[in-house]
Structure 1
Amino acid sequence: MASLAMNHILERIALFQFTPTHCVQARAMLGWSVEQLSREAEVAVDDIQRFEAQQDVADATRLALAYRFEAQGLVFFPGFAPGRKLNPQAMQQNVAERGDFA
């Protein structure tokens, strides 16, 4: 029972944190069209377009989109553009050897 309650809490958090603006920004970060996101998340194109237009869609649709982006390493926080998850292996690498070191 605790597992079910925890899943419900995590879903509520994901729904709160993932916004229509995040969806547009995340697609741009990944270079995905609405059609590609539709295939990846198994969500109808019309549902994605409605969500990005800030219209109501089912919670299951929003979760499918958020979880698909999270599977690509993106994270979402209210009021901020999507970010990328930290890569523990990159953190172990010598900083001066990283390609993004300036």
Structure 2
Amino acid sequence: MATSAMNLILEHIALFQFTPTHCVQARAMLGWSAEQLSREAQVSVEDIQRFEAQQDVADAARLALAYRLEAQGLVFFPGFAPGRKLNPQAMQQNAVERGDFAQVG
């Protein structure tokens, strides 16, 4: 079980890695509107719009967005578009035929 100090470190990493551009790109990848992300992450549409406009929002809202999008299999690294987590079952398929072979694993 992670300690509270470890949780704090993980939260800071998530906050650093997840950017407003990532949020816009991730919604596009998933085909989600701001309203759908709002329902999924339990964050107000206004907070999502402010965040995507690079305005200040509470860290708790940013974490909720990042964690909800990560739960959909997305990963975030500064300076790169969101990628998809590696699907172990997909490893058995021909990588080129999968269509996501260039994604981060």
TM-score exceeds 0.5 = yes
- Normalised to the residue count of structure 1, the TM-score between the two structures is 0.90
Over alpha carbons, which structure has the higher Rg?
A: 1
Name the amino acid aligned to 1:72: Q
Counterpart position of 2:87: 87
- CA distances 1:75-100 after superposition (whole Å, capped 9, x unpaired): 00000000000011111x14279444
RMSD of aligned Cα (Å):
1.8
Structure 1 residue ranges without an equivalent (≥5) = none
Name the amino acid aligned to 1:31: G
- CA distances 1:17-69 after superposition (whole Å, capped 9, x unpaired): 00000000000000000000000000001000000000000000000000000
Q: Count how many residue pairs are aligned between Structure 1 and Structure 2.
A: 99
Is residue 90–residue 98 contact of structure 2 (8 Å, CA) maintained in 1? Answer: no
Name the amino acid aligned to 1:61: A
- Normalised to the residue count of structure 2, the TM-score between the two structures is 0.88
Structure 2 residue ranges without an equivalent (≥5) = none
Determine the C-alpha separation between the residues in 2 that align with 1:28 and 1:48: 14
